[in-house]
Amino acid sequence: MKYCGIELKGDEARVIGVEKKGDSYSISSLAVDKFKIKDPSNQPEMQSFATTFQRFLTAGHFDVIGIKGRMTKGRFAGGSTSFKMEGIIQLMPFHISIINPATIRAKVKNMELNLTGCKEYQIEALKVVLTMMAMPLSGFVKTQV
């Protein structure tokens, strides 16, 4: 089963691909592991992000895709660019799950993380994947819309 974890931070979408085999997993080698938006008010740039990201998800043949949720209010609220990216990703023809950060913390609290092949900035995206692996698959299996 192939998983894709996504963390939206500032003007970047940080991604990781993970393949699960039995009780173990390995981090997939991806051609691109982050997508950056320079000017979120530039429509062609946002359209390019949408096209590029959809190509990435299609080429990855992921069975399960999840995004780390962000707070909408308060001191630790996500920025406007990250919410624009989230909206674009959610409109793609895949089943995309938003995973609450509290759920992620609870699920990975006692896990031993295998960071082989994982870059520092991909750790939060990996935690999204590990959370999805620890939950029932029924809500996560990819379906074309």
**pLDDT tens-digit readout, 84-96:** 999 999 999 999 9
Burial of 28 (0-12, 13-18, 19+ CB in 10 A): middle
Rounded Cα–Cα distance for residues 98 and 102 (Å): 12
* 142 pLDDT more than 60: no
CATH topology of domain 2-139: Nucleotidyltransferase; domain 5 (3.30.420)
pLDDT in tens, 60-112: 999 999 999 987 777 766 688 999 999 999 999 999 999 999 999 999 998 88
Residue 114: pLDDT band with limits 50, 70, 90: confident
pLDDT, one tens digit per residue, over 4-61 is 999 999 999 999 999 999 888 999 988 899 999 999 999 999 999 999 999 999 999 9
What is the reported pTM? 0.90
So where are the chain's domains? 2-139
